[in-house]
Structure formats: structure tokens, C-alpha cells
Amino acid sequence: MSSLDIPQVNFSGLDLSKVGTEEWLLARGQVMKALETHGFFSVVFNKVPDETLDALFGPLADDLFSLPLETKMLTTSDKFYQGYIPKRPGSNFESLNIDMVDASPLDSIQRFVSLMWPHGNPTFRGMMWSFAREALELEMMVRRMVVEGLGVEKHFDESMVKSTVQSVRMFDYGAPSDQEKMMAMGSHQDMNIMTFIYQHHSDGLELQDKSGRWFRSSPNSFSIMIGESFEAWSNGRLKATPHRVKMGSNNETRRSIGFGSAFKDECKIHAPEDLVTEDHPLLYKPYHYDAYVQFRFSDAAKGSACPLKAYCGVLRGDEMVA
């Protein structure tokens, strides 16, 4: 499928001060239609300066990924899929993560910079903040639009602001290990609330719609995907987006930046009572994000067609719903 087939929503000129305006409602309607028909969309969003993107995907990424392994390992986490992820057999990519867990996102970026460059790197700090600041607002706008579109905006502050954290992850891909299929990352669904992927002057990201067709995302845009946590929270009204990375040639290198949100470990993920009705009975039992992440990487989850259902799907009679 051509990348032009991916629904695109124009967020130019929008910010959180525009909530409830005509242009906000227009964009919200397009977002909900795209999620209902495809399960994903991309956005036109021109607030991140070109010089910031050129630096983050060019010389600053070169500096970051060329650091010694022992330096990058300083961000390794004891939690699955957090911190530094090194290249492994069969997956020729590595990634570094900045968790926005401090009182200020800028403090989180500074903490990361201090680990990577003890003597400082003000250019990286400034450029990453320039990107993250706009991505934070974009992600919050989309999340709010979706919650409003579901008709449960009264739960937004408690469930979708106070109970969540964000992170930025930088990816660096080499030539794929599978030279026949050119698959750099196999099909999967993210466990979080939402993921935004930005590709700069490169492509490779592919997203699968509800009918099983694969769409190739275009460069220089944010592709928006739903995670399993949002599927559970919405009681199945949203569906987690299968996606993969397929390279165009064996000489190609690829970089991307992912921006995502997740529920805090201590918060229980459960659908608001307004979304549980006779026509839409409860699909997933309440669960904690960190416990589900551990399950997803366990032997018990291997081979499961739908780990989320296996972990917390509601049984009715002899059948698993959802």
C-alpha cells in the first residue's frame, strides 16, 4: 500500500489552548474516524524545527550511538524493554530510552545527558528538549481527543494525566539480519497507551489495519499507534496496532525516534464504568502495567496469539471474549 493511504490529520496551529474550538473538533473527528476505520493515522505537525530534526537524526545520533557499550549500558533497566536495548542475534538495531519521570521533563533529559556525557553536552540537551517539548504536547492533544471522542473526558485528568508517564526512545538500525525478507523488526503490538514514531528522511515503518493490510508510513511525519493498555482502558473500542520495520535495501541504515506514554506501575488499568455497558460488556480484568510487561516477556506468553487476552481477558462460559 502507498503511504498516501495512511489517514493524515493536520495538527498545524493546534495546541491545548484550542480545546473545544471548531478546529479542535474537526481534528478530533478525523482522529476518531481514522482509528475506527484503520486503527492508526499520521499527523502533519510542523512545530519541531528542521534544524532540530537534522541534528537529532544526524550528528547527535552519531555521537550517541558511537559511545562505548559500557556507557550506553548505564541506562540499562531491570525492567523489560526499558533503558538501553543492545543489538542481539537476529535483531540488528539498538535503542536508548529517556524516561520522563522527573518533576520536569527537562530534568529527565539532563539526567540522561549526565550519564552519557559526564562533562556535559548542552547541544544534545537543547535539541532533545526542543523535540520532546513539542512531542509531549502533541501526544497529550491526541490522547485528549481520543478520550473526548469516546465520551469519557471526565476521566481524562485522573486516568490520562496523573496516572501516566512518557518516554522518548531513539533507534538506530543497521542492515537487517534477514536479507531475504529485509525484516528489521517483526510484527508486534506495543504494551503502552500510545506510541508516536517519527522517521526523518527514511521509511521502513509498516502498520497493519483492521483488515490485515500493511501500510508503509511516510518519512518526515509522526505515525500514531494505539497500545494494548489503551485497548484495555477503552474496553476494546480501540485496538492495539500491529506494526513492524521492513527495510528497503541491505545497504540502508535507518533511524527513528519513538515517543510513548504508559500507565504508572502503581496504577491499575481498568475501563471507566461509562465504557462498560450491556452492548459492550467488560473485556479485560483490571491489571497493573509492570506485571503485564513481565508476563509478556515470560515463557507463559510465548506462542499466545493475544497475550493481553491470555493475561487478563474476561471468560464468559467456555469462551474468552475480546
Q: What is the DSSP string of 231-280?
A: HHHTTTSS-PPPEEEE-S-TT--EEEEEEEEEE-TTSEE---GGG--SSS
Residue 244's contacts (CB-CB under 8 Å, 6 or more residues apart) are 183, 185, 186, 187, 188, 205, 206, 208, 214
Mean pLDDT of 66-88: 87
CATH of domain 3-265: 2.60.120.330
Dist CA 50 CA 22 (whole Å): 29
Query: Minimal CA–CA distance to 146: which of 263, 227, 28, 271?
Result: 28
SS3 88: strand
Phi, psi (degrees; rounded to nearest 5) at 320: -90, 125
Residue with cell 485522573: 158
Cell of 88: 542481539
Which segment of 25-29, 44-48, 77-81, 137-141 scores lowest on mean pLDDT? 77-81
Tens digit of each residue's pLDDT (9 = 90 or more) over 201-236: 888 899 999 889 999 888 888 999 999 999 999 999
More confident residue, 306 or 79: 306
Residue ranges of the domains in the chain? 3-265
Which grid coordinates belong to 158? 485522573
Residue 253 or 165, more confident = 165
254 has a pLDDT exceeding 90: no
Is 295's pLDDT higher than 90?
yes
Q: Is the pLDDT of residue 252 over 70?
A: no
Burial of 120 (0-12, 13-18, 19+ CB in 10 A): exposed
- The chain-wide mean pLDDT, for the chain, equals 89
Residue 133 has pLDDT above 80, yes or no: yes
Query: H or E element: which one contains 197?
Result: strand 194-199
Evaluate whether 92 touches 176 at the Cβ level (below 8 Å): yes
8 A C-beta contact, residue 138 and residue 222: yes
Packed helices 122-149 and 50-57: angle between N→C axes, nearest 10 degrees:
110
∠ at Cα 95 (312, 134), nearest 5°?
A: 85
Residue 318 has pLDDT above 60, yes or no: no
* Dist. CA 194–CA 198, nearest whole Å: 13
pLDDT at 29 over 60: yes
Read off the DSSP letter of residue 48. S
pLDDT exceeds 80 at position 4: no
pTM over 0.85: yes
